[in-house]
Structures are given as structure tokens and as C-alpha cells.
Structure 1
């Protein structure tokens, strides 16, 4: 790999140097601190994303690159650093947070001018680790490595994963926070993004009343990541906030399209660019449930449940608006944009559902149709992904009993077959109002309904296999997730087996996951 071209885009500004002393502390007036990865004596490569490496300008992997992938023996041109940010966690102000187990190597620019930040996760403590060790375990690293790539190939804005390595160390974690800590294998991933800037970076500077630094950060972000913004003065920051709102709403709609539940939508986990970031206790939707949360820490309130993600994104944008107010200085503008956010979100959401159903446009009455469909999905506990794949070929004459057996998570009942039959009749009445051909409608459905999703039980099985030193399932899942709209492995296109219903790390996860 060509790591000599890695640069530090803003490392000359507002640094704190804690390279040799990562003890947790407050770092007022500081956006980042230089810090070196801890280093590992016996690392081993599990997976490397060759196509991503070529795309971003790092080139092919060589054996000597293993040291860089775990943060060992860094070249002199790299001054690695961790960033400080703040945030609201589960609705409460948490004060200063920061990259607790993430360390940035810097930025690389490929031949076409594309900029990509490169970051280790699990490579040791930083000043923002909050008394933790900055390490990561294998299970959480596998989950992030695979899921970020799965989201990318689904067409959803996201961070991406370059590599997955064992560190050779053991890490102690209490997986479910129930007083049962255990030793687990340690791991490091390298993840990439155009930028890892979060809502929380702006919240920190605003809370500290560091308004000059806040403005410098906003200017840096706009100049580097929002080239479409050409306005000046206060209007520039208004345009910036409006773009962030739009990108965030679009991301939420994409999550709903594929049935992704983030699990911990704190403001410090919200990308300023509208990327999916920080893959912890996430889940792809199995049985459809608006109240589903995969995060044990989110119980019993279910703040971050599947059906609340649009609402929470708006709440998080209110917090960003408060942080940017010293630059925008227009309360009415912010209120108007936030109050109309829901209109934009729901219009985009319903248009997305139209495509999933094969409707070429949104019609009067579709809102009621979608509401009735949601009720059916929840009542019959239908698998979200499998339902839409069945819908591509369903008809009044289809064997609905067989279909229900394959996509429902509750015992088969005659009355439920009748309910599905009634819905199919209503669906075809609505489908007949299309102004495109049936073939074009089918193509629309296939483009918007994935065949393969990375279910938690598949990840669970993959992690267990990697623990034994095998990578066959890892390789199969990698192939499948790179082709999510095709059926590469039919065995992956089935509902979650019942024996995984109550398995920790499968049906429910913690923030440690």
C-alpha cells in the first residue's frame, strides 16, 4: 500500500499533543489531540478490502503492510490523532466525549482528487476514552467491517471498512452489562470516510463558547465537503444547515428502505455529511416491527426504535441548530427548516415505499394503503425483506399458505391467510393504477428491494466461525453483500431460524456489541 501520501488535513490547527500520555481528560478549546496507536506484537490479518484500497489510492496489499493496518511502526509523515466532540446521549447532554477507541491516520487523495480519511478503531486509548482501554473485540469489529460494506453495496451513504485484523491480545468485556465480564479476542479495523465529522464536533465548540473555532470548523467543513455552497456571510451557514437537514432525511429514508435499525442515534453518532456511522448494536429488520430496537441499553424506552428514527433525526438536528445558532443568528430560519423537516422526510419516505411496491408515483389514498400494510406486517409478524421479494411474484392465485409459512414468524392460522389474501387484492387494485408497464414496475421493485441483507444471526454464525480460525462463511457473506440485489446463496434468503430468537449477540445486543 502507498501510505506515504497520507496527509493531515487540519492537524496544524487547535492541536493538543498527548502522544505519549493517553490518560482521559478534558481538553477545552481543542478539537483534536495527537496520539499514537498502542501497537501490537502479534497481529494477524483476517480480511482486506482490495477493491476499496485501490479505489482510494492505497493500492494492493503486501505483507509488510500488516504493521500499518494495526498502527505499528508508523512512518514519520504520519502524526495520528483523535478528535474531541460532545453530544446528547439517549436525550441527555453528555458533555465532552470524543474518539475513545478511534485514531485517525490522516487523509489520502487519489488520482481523481477524491479525499478519504483513514482511521483505526480499537488501536488503543486516547484522551477521550473515558477510563476505557480503547481496544475493540473481534465480534464488534467483524460486525462493523461487514455491515459498513453491506450498506455501501446497498447504495446507502456510509463509512467503509478497509481491513480487519486480530491484535493477538485478549480484551475483557461485559457483553451484556450484566456482571459477567469475559476475555475475548482483540481486533482492529481500519475504516474510511470522506470525513468523520459529527454533529458533536460542532456541539462541543458551541457549548464551550469557542465561537471562532466553531466558525473555523464550519468554514473548513463547507469548503471541503459542500462545494455546492457558494454563498457568503450568515447565508453560507444557513445553506450549510439546510444541506445537512436534507442529507440526514435522505439517509433516514434509505435506512427505512432496507430495514436498517441503528440502535444508538446519539448526536455524537450523527455524521455531518449524512453517512451511516458507528456500527454498534445495529440490526437489519427481520419481522417488521416499528417498536423494534436491537439495543438492550435502549430498553424499556425504545428511544431509538425502528419507527422512531425519522423523529429522532429531527430531534438531533434541533441540537445541531442550537450549536450553529451563533453563526446563523436567525431563530425563525432554524425553526422553519426544522418544522418543515418532517414534511420533506415523509414525502421522501412515501415515495420510497412507492418504489418498493412498484408504484411509479404517489397517489391520493396511498398514505392509508401504507398504514394498512404496516398494520398487516406487524400483526402477522412478516419478514420485511422476504415480504417484498415475494411481492414481486405474488398474485391472487398464489399459494398464500406456503408464502405465509416462509415469511411469518408466528404459527400459521387460517384467518391470517385471509388477511393476506385481502391485502393482495387491495395491492393489485392499487397496482392497476400505474402508468408504467408491469415489467418496468418489476424492475423498479428489484432496484429498491434487496434480496440479501446481513442479518444478525448470520453475523453471529460468522463470528463464531472466525473465533475458530475459519473464514469460509466470512468469504461467502462478503460475496453476498457485494451483490445484495441478486440471490448468490439461497440459504441466506430465509427468515431467522427460531433457535436464534433469544441468543445474546443475535436477537439483542448491547452498546458493547
Structure 2
């Protein structure tokens, strides 16, 4: 890899702490602190994303590159650093936060002019680690590496992963926060994005009343990442906020389309570019449940449950609006924009469901149809992905109960079967009102409904294999996630095995990593 091409996009512009001090502390009035990765004596490469490396301009992997991938060797022309931000966590103001496990290497520009930031996750403590060690364990690192790439190939805006490596260290973690800490293998992921700027970066400067820096950060962000904004003065900040609202709503719709539940939608985990960021206790949907949250820390309130992600994103945008108010100074504009958000989101959401069902357009009675469908999905515990896969395969004169039985987590008795049959009849009636052919309808469904999603039990099995020195499942999953709209491996097109229903790290997770 040509790591000498990496440049620094941020620290030459904004105030920061350049003491290279990893001690956990407050750093008021700054947006970053320079810090060097901890360094690891016995690293071992697990996976490398060569296609991404070529795409962003780093080139092919060579054995000597492992030292860079774990932060042991740095290009001479860069100073690594962690950024400070703030945020609302589970609805409460948390004050200063920051990159507690992430250290930014810098930015690279490929031959086409596309810029990409490169960041280690798990490479050591920073001033923002909040009394933690800045390390990451294998299980969370595998989950981030694979899932961020899975989301990319599903067509969902996301950060991406360049590499995954053992550090050679063991890290103590209490996986369920229940007083049972254990040693786990340490790992480092390199992740990439156009930018890692979050809502929280703007919240921090506003909360500290650092309005000059807030304005500089806004101008920097608009100039570098929002070329479509050409307005001036305060109007450009209004356009910026509207743009973020649209991107965020579109991202939420994509999460609903593929059945992704983030698990920790704190404002510091919200990308200013509308990317999926910070893969912690996430889950892809197995049995459809609007109240499902994979995060044990989110119980019993279920603030970040699957069905609440739209309204929580709007709540988070209200907090961003408060942070940007000193620059926009127009309460009515902010209120009107946020009030329109809900209408935009739900219309986009229902149009997305139309595509999943193969409907040509959103029609008057479709909202009632979708509500009935949601009730049926929850009552009969249908698997989200498998239900739509079976719907695509539906033909006339098929036994409805038998056709859908392997997509349900409950027994389809006579009463349940009749409910399903009635729904399918309403679905077929709705299809007849389409102005497009059935072939066109099916193509729309096939583009909208993945055949493969990276389920938690598959990740759990993959992590166990890697811990035992095997990579066969890792390689198989990597191939499958690159082709999510094809059924390359029929064994992955099945419900979660019942043996994993209550397995920690599979059906339930915590924020521990």
C-alpha cells in the first residue's frame, strides 16, 4: 500500500491539543487531540479488503503493511489524532465525549479525486476514552468489519472497513455488564468514510459557546462535503440543515428496507453525511418486531427499537437544530423543517414498502394495507427477509401455509393460516391494480429485497471459528455479503436456529467491546 499518500484534512484548520497525552481528561475549546496508536508487538492479519484499498487509492496489500494496519508504523507526513465531540445518550445530555477507541490516520485522495478518511478503531487510549483502555475485542471488530461491508453491498450509506487484525493482546471485558469480566482477544479494525464528522462535533462547539469555531466547522463541512450547497450567508446553513434532514431520513428508510436495527442511536453516533456509523449492538431483523432492540442497555425502555428509529432520528435532528441555532437564528425555519421531516420520512418509507411488495406506486389504501401487514408479521412471527423472499416466489395454486411455514417462528395452525390466506388475497387484489407487468413488479421486488442478510447468529459462529484459528466461514460470509441479492448459499436462507434464541452475543448484545 502507498501509505505515504495519506494527508491531514483537519488539524491544520481547527484548535486542538497537541500534547500527545492519552490521559483521559476534558479538553475544552478544542476539536482534536494528537495521539499516537499504542502499538502492538505480535499483530496478525485476519482480513484485508483489497477492492476497497484499490478504490480509495492505497493500492495492493504487502506483508510489510501489517505494521500500518495496527498503527505500529506511521507515514512521516502525518500526525495522528482523536476528535472531541459531545452528545445526547439515551435522551440525556452527556457533555464532552470523543473518539475513545478511534484514532484518525488522515485522508487519502484517489486518482479520480475522491477523498477518504482512514481511522483505526481499537488502537489504544485517547483523552476521550473515559477511563477505558481504547482497545477493541475480536467479537466487536469482526462485527464491524463484516457488517459495514454488508451494508455497503446492500446499498445502504455506511462507513466501510479496510482491514481486521489481531493485536496479539488480551483485553478484559464484561460482555453483559453482569459482573463476569473475562479475557478476550484484542483486535484492530481500520475503517474508512468520506468523513467521520458527527452531530456531536457541532453540539460540542455550540454547548461550549465556541461560536467562531462552530462557524468555521460549518463552513469547512459545507465546502468539503456538500458541493451542492452554493448559497451564502445564513442561507447556506439553512440549506445545510435541510440537506442533513433529507440524508438522515433516507438512511432511516434504508434501515427499514433491509431490516437493520442500530441499537445505539445517540446523537454522537449520527453521521453528518447520513452514513451508518458505529456498529455496536446492532442486529439484522429475524422475526419481525417493531419493538425489537438488540441492545440490553436499551431495556426496558426500548428507546432505540426497530420501529422507533424514524422518530428517534427526528429527535436527534432537533438536538442538532439547537446546536446550529446560533448560526441560523431562525426558530420558525428550524421548526418547520423538522415538522416536515416526519411527512417526508413516512412518505419515503411507504414508497419503499411499495417497492418491496412490487407495487407500481403509493396509492390511497396502501397505508391501511401496510398496517395490516405489520400486524400479521408480528402476530405470526414472520422472518422479515424470508417472508419477502417467499412472496417473490408465490405462484397460483400454491399451498399458502406450506409455502410460508419455513418463514415463520411460530406454528401456523388453522386460525393463523386463514389470517395469512386472507392477507395474501388482499395482496393479490392490490397487485391487480398495478399499471406495470408482473415481470416488472418482480424485478422491483428483487432489487429491494435481499436474499442474504448478515444475521447475528452467523456472526457469532464466525467469531467462534476465528478464535479457533479458522477462516472458512469468514471467507464464505464475505462472498455472500458482496452478493446480497443472490442466493449463493441456500443454507444462509433460513431462520435463526432455536438454539441461539437466548445466546449472549447473538440474540442479545451489550455496548461492551
Q: TM-score interval w.r.t. the shorter chain?
A: over 0.9
Per-residue CA deviation, residues 439-476 of structure 1 (Å, 9 max, x unaligned), is 00000000000000000000000000000010000000
The equivalent residue for 2:511 is 511
The equivalent residue for 1:86 is 86
- Distance in 1 of aligned mates of 2:402 and 2:459: 27
RMSD of equivalent CA atoms: 0.7
The equivalent residue for 2:130 is 130
- Distance in 2 of aligned mates of 1:449 and 1:245: 25
The equivalent residue for 2:496 is 496
* Deviation of the 1:409 alpha carbon: 0.6
Name the SS for the 1:311 alignment partner.
helix
Structure-to-structure mapping, 1:271-290, within 5 angstroms: 271-290=271-290
- Distance in 2 of aligned mates of 1:222 and 1:464: 44
The equivalent residue for 2:477 is 477
Structure-to-structure mapping, 1:267-416, within 5 angstroms: 267-416=267-416
Per-residue CA deviation, residues 6-57 of structure 1 (Å, 9 max, x unaligned), is 01112112121132x2001110110001100000000000000000000000
- Distance in 1 of aligned mates of 2:405 and 2:440: 29
- Distance in 2 of aligned mates of 1:161 and 1:326: 36
* Deviation of the 1:396 alpha carbon: 4.9
Does structure 2 conserve the Cα–Cα contact (< 8 Å) formed by 1:140 and 1:280? yes
The equivalent residue for 1:250 is 250
The equivalent residue for 1:182 is 182
* Deviation of the 1:171 alpha carbon: 0.2
- Distance in 2 of aligned mates of 1:436 and 1:339: 34
Does structure 2 conserve the Cα–Cα contact (< 8 Å) formed by 1:396 and 1:425? no
Does structure 2 conserve the Cα–Cα contact (< 8 Å) formed by 1:406 and 1:495? yes
Q: How has the CA–CA distance of structure 1 residues 358 and 395 changed in structure 2, closer, same or farther, with 3 Å as cutoff? A: same
- Distance in 2 of aligned mates of 1:359 and 1:9: 45
Residue 24 in 1 paired to residue 18 in 2?
A: no
Name the SS for the 2:406 alignment partner.
helix
Per-residue CA deviation, residues 332-385 of structure 1 (Å, 9 max, x unaligned), is 000000011000000000000000000010000000000000000000000000
- TM-score (structure 2 length as normaliser): 0.99
- Distance in 2 of aligned mates of 1:27 and 1:216: 19
Structure-to-structure mapping, 1:137-176, within 5 angstroms: 137-176=137-176
Name the SS for the 2:187 alignment partner.
strand
- TM-score (structure 1 length as normaliser): 0.99
* Deviation of the 1:266 alpha carbon: 0.1
The equivalent residue for 1:239 is 239
* Deviation of the 1:400 alpha carbon: 2.0
Does structure 2 conserve the Cα–Cα contact (< 8 Å) formed by 1:18 and 1:127? no
- Distance in 1 of aligned mates of 2:140 and 2:2: 28
- Distance in 2 of aligned mates of 1:414 and 1:386: 21
Does structure 2 conserve the Cα–Cα contact (< 8 Å) formed by 1:395 and 1:424? no
- Distance in 2 of aligned mates of 1:100 and 1:457: 28
Residue 57 in 1 paired to residue 54 in 2?
A: no
Does structure 1 conserve the Cα–Cα contact (< 8 Å) formed by 2:387 and 2:404? no
The equivalent residue for 1:433 is 433
Does structure 1 conserve the Cα–Cα contact (< 8 Å) formed by 2:380 and 2:412? no
Unaligned residue ranges in structure 1 (runs of 5+): none
Unaligned residue ranges in structure 2 (runs of 5+): none
